[in-house]
Amino acid sequence: MEEENKEAVISEIHRRIAEAFNVFDNESSKSVDVREVGTIIRSLGCFPSEAELHEMIAEVEEEEPTGYIRFEKFLPAMTKVLMERKFRPIPKDVLIQAFEVLDQEKKGYLEAEELKKYMTQEGEPFSQDEVEEMLSAALDNKENVIFYKDLVSKMTFEDL
């Protein structure tokens, strides 16, 4: 029975991966642009860092990188990731704690410039576009600051 269940679980995982992959496989060529792989992995519920992402891409790339990742190589690697539950989601409270670390004065919010500075200078820095986009979504129009507790609630997908 155990074996059967495991097989069923794996086959369902395979289907999920295939669906997500196919959304980006425009030519039905069973391959996707390497730049989309991060989106695919993340949409399956994983929260890798950029470094972890690059590692994984290196794993599934061709010997001589073509700019495309083939489904053949992607499937087993991704299955492993999901089975082992790698790149787990960040719990909401941990996330809020992270914001609180940045909010040294414990104001309950962050100034736009503050957040921008951290995001573009620390960790795995955002590009200009990324940080602009984040601010446009995060900024409270009236007060011109970021209420991060609200932001975390707004930007969390509750489903997986």
Partner 1 sequence: MRAALLIQRWYRQYVARLEMRRRCTWHIFQSIEYAGEQDQIKLYNFFGYLMDHFTPANRNLISHIFRENEICRDIEWERYFCYKNIEVPELYSGPHLSFPLTVSNVADLVEAFKNKQQLHTRYVLQLLLESWKLLRMLPNINQVSTCQTKEITICGDLHGHLEDLLLVFYKNGMPSVEKSYVFNGDFVDRGKDSIEILLILFAFMLLYPNNVHLNRGNHEDYIVNLRYGFTKEVLGKYRLHGKKILKLLQKIFSWLPLATVIDQKVLILHGGISDTTDLNIIAQADRHKYVSTLRPPKRRWVASGGNSTAGRHKVNGRMDNSLQRHCSLAYNSPLRSRYNFQSRSMQNFSSKVNLAVEEELKEQRRMAGLSQSYHDLRSSLSSDSDSDNYETYEDDSNEWKQVIIVDMLWSDPMPQDGCIPNEVRGGGCYWGPDVTEKVLRRHNLQLLIRSHECKQEGYEFCHNRKVLTIFSASNYYEVGSNRGAYIRLGPDLVPHFIQYQANRSTRELTLRQRYRGTFSLRALREQLFAHKSDLLYAFQDYDTDNTGWISLKHWATAVEAVLRLGLPWRVLRSQLVTTTQDGMLDYQGWLRELPITEPKTESLLETMYKQRSNLETIFRIIDSDHSGLISFEEFRQTWKLLSSHLKMEISDEAILDMAVSIDFNKDGSIDINEFMEAFRLVDRTMNLPSEPNHTKTDE
Q: Footprint of partner 1 on this chain (CB under 8 A)?
A: 12, 14-16, 18-20, 22-25, 27-29, 38-43, 46-50, 89-90, 94-95, 97-99, 101-102, 118-119, 122-126, 130, 133-134, 136-137, 154-157, 159-160
**Residue 63 or 91: which CB sits closer to partner 1?**
91
51 DSSP β-pair partners: none
**Residue 62 or 98: which CB sits closer to partner 1?**
98
**Residue 19 or 59: which CB sits closer to partner 1?**
19
Long-range contacts for 32-38 (Cβ within 8 Å, ≥24 apart)? 32/68, 32/69, 32/71, 32/74, 33/67, 33/68, 33/69, 34/61, 34/65, 34/67, 34/68, 34/69, 37/69, 37/74
| The pair of three-digit structure tokens given for residue 90, joined into one six-digit string | 């960040």
Least distance between partner 1 and beta carbon 28 (Å): 4
Least distance between partner 1 and beta carbon 3 (Å): 18
**Residue 111 or 122: which CB sits closer to partner 1?**
122
| Calpha distance 160→97 (Å, rounded) | 22
